């Protein structure tokens, strides 16, 4: 009995295997008979809302069970010219075998091989060159809009369409726009996938491509894609990575109207200049400067974004504050307030295109950043440096706008007093022009002269300094060589170091020339120091340089070229022995370089006996 049951069981299993084998063998024929060319095209059209045309009948492969479509074209239903919106050399569609046996077409995965997607060529919103008409996705979005309209704040997601969708994979695709009848590549080498199991389920886009010569990776995910597509508010995360820049957002968004975003965001670029040149599809000379990163809580729409609790780093300078980005105009505008603990002014200046680096003020504004972004940042820093200059309690602004860049230090403590300084670069027809201003109030002349040896006659006392130079943009050496401007200084009582006036007069009386360093062993107690000079084509014309002490007045005038030797005439007027006696005047000439000047007595100088 048992053996008979076993025998019958084997027959049943064997029969089932034979039937299964027969079904598998017959599947291509059944599928070919049921899933004909028009049926697959109709199903793709029903989803997409476009007219679908195939260049040849579908090829059916058994394992894996799929249909291979060749020369696929999607075009608008009401376009008499049937201009293609999407084309693909090959589309491989994974099918459900059971659905095929029932005569249905149920997709799970579609692979588009070398597809071309055409976008609208106008300057408006990004979109396909022709909009779809109907289609299950479009109808589902309309149904979702109705659900959202009933309760915009908390829509009933259980009422959303639940149609299964699947995965779309892209292999070696292109995104183009058509201008003057010709396709222009926007993104090439597109590859990745769009995963959306069902219309009421989360979706994810993971794509890579090449845009303007740089590889770009995009990862976009949302738990409620249908709500977002219907204009509702839902969670959204975006990650965009490329060599010139990266961007990440995680929060909620609404894609209707002006859109809306709220969440956390981060932007980083190893070179702000390179990123702007890349995004603007232009190149300009200049070193890749300006490492920038910004992160914080973002809110706003596509017209204006605000970043609160912002943490910004520019070339290693880290600050916190509020940043706003306006995108309504043709040129975006970035403004905000940032507080730094420490700030390197030179690197910050370079990062925002006001210079090619700490030794060059050329090529940054006229053809570059100022034509790409409007910038208005208010800055403060507890401590700041500019080269070897140390500043405290700094208040400054950085502005860039349409061919103009300016960096102003409106208030800072430096050189023992308060200073204001500015660097402005304007784009002119003949080239960029730079203007540099410096004002020091109640600064210590001794500290200033230690920083700038050319001002070695300033006393270690309080006084005021004002300087201005304007020149074609270039290196600092070129600016000094071609500049026009002025300089003035006024100081009260103080001590001029390394100037022994008694030894100076004695050496003059001896009648031989001597190095100024030879009489630098003492000091001179001055009652006041006054300097006035103009600068023309890199030559400083000293109109007045008077040092007054209790016993004499030393006066200098002449020229100091930015390149070359000194040419100064000087005199020492010593007070007379009585109030009515005229002062005795000693004349001399100063030549050589300012680092190694020498003094020559002028014929007729009184001797020691005089």
The per-residue pLDDT for range 468-482, each reduced to its tens digit, is 999 888 777 788 888
pLDDT: which is higher, 250 or 16: 250
d(CA 283, CA 277): 6
d(CA 266, CA 252): 15
Q: Write phi, then psi, for 117 (nearest 5 degrees).
A: -110, 125
At residue 310 the predicted structure's pLDDT band, cuts being 50, 70 and 90, is: very high
Contact between 261 and 271 (Cβ < 8 Å): no
- In the predicted model, is pLDDT for residue 187 greater than 70? yes
Is residue 96 situated within a structural domain? no
d(CA 148, CA 186): 35
Give pLDDT, residue 5: 47
Among residues 297, 207, 211, which one has the least CA distance to residue 249? 297
- Statement to judge: residues 399 and 547 lie in one domain: no
Is residue 218 situated within a structural domain? no
Tokens 């030559």 appear where? 539
- Statement to judge: residues 385 and 491 lie in one domain: no
- Statement to judge: residues 494 and 421 lie in one domain: no
Give pLDDT, residue 72: 92
Angle (nearest 5°) at CA 536 between 533 and 541: 30
Is residue 224 situated within a structural domain? no
- Statement to judge: residues 263 and 412 lie in one domain: yes
Of 396, 413, 428, the residue at which a domain comes to its end is 428
Give pLDDT, residue 46: 86
Give pLDDT, residue 610: 45
pTM value > 0.75: no
Is residue 412 situated within a structural domain? yes
Give pLDDT, residue 369: 58
Contact between 281 and 318 (Cβ < 8 Å): no
Give pLDDT, residue 158: 87
Stretch 28-50: mean pLDDT, rounded? 68
Q: What is the rounded radius of gyration, in angstroms, for the C-alpha atoms of the chain? A: 39
- Statement to judge: residues 402 and 506 lie in one domain: no
- Statement to judge: residues 286 and 412 lie in one domain: yes
- In the predicted model, is pLDDT for residue 167 greater than 90? yes
Is residue 135 situated within a structural domain? no
- Statement to judge: residues 500 and 420 lie in one domain: no
- Statement to judge: residues 383 and 272 lie in one domain: yes
- In the predicted model, is pLDDT for residue 488 greater than 90? yes
- Domains identified in the chain, total number: 2
- Statement to judge: residues 299 and 403 lie in one domain: yes
Of 263-272, 323-332, 377-386, least confident by mean pLDDT is 323-332
At residue 420 the predicted structure's pLDDT band, cuts being 50, 70 and 90, is: very high
Stretch 6-30: mean pLDDT, rounded? 49
Is residue 334 situated within a structural domain? yes
- Statement to judge: residues 395 and 499 lie in one domain: no
Range among 38-42, 98-102, 220-224, 601-605 with highest mean pLDDT value: 220-224
Of 385, 408, 428, the residue at which a domain comes to its end is 428
Task: Please give the structure tokens belonging to residue 308.
Answer: 């609160």
At residue 484 the predicted structure's pLDDT band, cuts being 50, 70 and 90, is: very high
Which residues constitute the domain of residue 550? Answer: 487-601
Is residue 546 situated within a structural domain? yes
- Statement to judge: residues 383 and 517 lie in one domain: no
- Statement to judge: residues 512 and 399 lie in one domain: no
Of 384, 407, 428, the residue at which a domain comes to its end is 428
């Amino acid at each position: 009995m048992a053996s008979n049951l076993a025998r019958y069981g084997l027959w049943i299993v064997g029969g089932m295997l034979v039937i299964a084998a027969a079904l598998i063998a017959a599947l291509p024929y059944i599928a070919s008979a049921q899933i004909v060319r028009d049926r697959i095209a109709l199903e793709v059209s029903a989803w997409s809302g476009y007219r679908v045309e195939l260049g040849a009948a579908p090829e059916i492969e058994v394992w894996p069970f799929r249909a291979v479509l060749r020369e696929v074209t999607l075009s608008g239903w009401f376009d008499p010219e049937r201009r293609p919106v999407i084309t693909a050399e090959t589309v491989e569609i994974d099918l459900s075998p059971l659905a095929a046996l029932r005569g249905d077409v149920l997709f799970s995965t579609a692979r588009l091989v070398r597809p071309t997607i055409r976008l609208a060529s106008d300057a408006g919103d990004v979109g396909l060159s022709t909009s779809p008409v109907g289609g299950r996705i479009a109808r589902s979005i309309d149904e979702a809009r109705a659900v959202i309209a009933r309760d915009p704040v908390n829509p009933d997601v259980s009422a959303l369409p639940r149609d299964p969708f699947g995965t779309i994979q892209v292999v070696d695709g292109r995104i183009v726009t058509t201008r003057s009848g010709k396709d222009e590549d926007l993104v090439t080498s597109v590859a990745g996938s769009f995963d959306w199991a069902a219309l009421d389920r989360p979706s994810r886009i993971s794509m890579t491509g090449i845009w303007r010569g740089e590889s770009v990776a995009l990862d976009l995910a949302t738990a409620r894609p249908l709500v977002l597509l219907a204009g509702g508010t839902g969670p959204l995360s975006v990650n965009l990575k490329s060599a010139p820049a990266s961007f990440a957002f995680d929060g909620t968004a609404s894609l209707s109207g002006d859109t809306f975003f709220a969440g956390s965001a981060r932007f980083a670029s190893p070179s702000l200049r390179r990123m702007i040149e890349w995004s603007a599809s232009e190149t300009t000379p200049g070193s890749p400067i300006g490492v920038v990163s910004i992160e914080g809580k973002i809110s706003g729409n596509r017209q204006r974004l605000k970043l609160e609790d912002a943490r910004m780093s520019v070339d290693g300078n880290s600050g916190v504050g509020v940043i706003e980005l306006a995108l309504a105009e043709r040129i975006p505008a970035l403004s905000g307030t940032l507080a730094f603990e420490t700030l390197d002014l030179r690197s910050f200046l370079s990062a925002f295109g006001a210079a090619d680096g700490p030794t060059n003020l050329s090529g940054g504004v006229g053809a570059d950043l100022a034509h790409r972004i409007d910038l208005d940042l208010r800055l403060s820093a507890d401590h700041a440096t500019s080269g070897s200059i140390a500043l405290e309690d700094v208040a400054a602004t950085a502005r860039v706008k349409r061919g103009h860049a300016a960096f102003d230090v409106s208030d800072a403590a430096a050189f023992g007093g308060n200073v204001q300084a500015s660097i402005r670069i304007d784009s002119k027809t003949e080239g960029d022009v730079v203007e540099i201003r410096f004002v020091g109030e109640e600064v210590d002349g001794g500290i200033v002269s230690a920083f700038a040896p050319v001002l070695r006659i300033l006393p270690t006392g309080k006084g005021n300094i004002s300087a201005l130079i304007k020149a074609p943009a270039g290196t600092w050496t070129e600016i000094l060589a071609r500049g026009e401007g002025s300089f003035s200084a006024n100081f009260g009582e103080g001590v001029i170091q390394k100037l022994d006036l008694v030894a100076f007069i004695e050496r003059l009386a001896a009648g031989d020339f001597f190095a100024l360093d030879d009489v630098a062993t003492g000091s001179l107690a001055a009652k006041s120091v006054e300097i006035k000079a103009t600068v023309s084509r890199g030559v400083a014309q000293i109109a007045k340089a008077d040092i007054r002490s209790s016993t004499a007045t030393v006066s200098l005038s002449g020229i100091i070229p930015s390149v070359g030797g000194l040419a100064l005439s000087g005199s020492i007027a010593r007070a007379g022995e009585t109030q009515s006696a005229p002062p005795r005047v000693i004349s001399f000439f100063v030549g050589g370089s300012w680092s190694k000047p020498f003094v020559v007595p002028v014929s007729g100088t009184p001797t020691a006996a005089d």
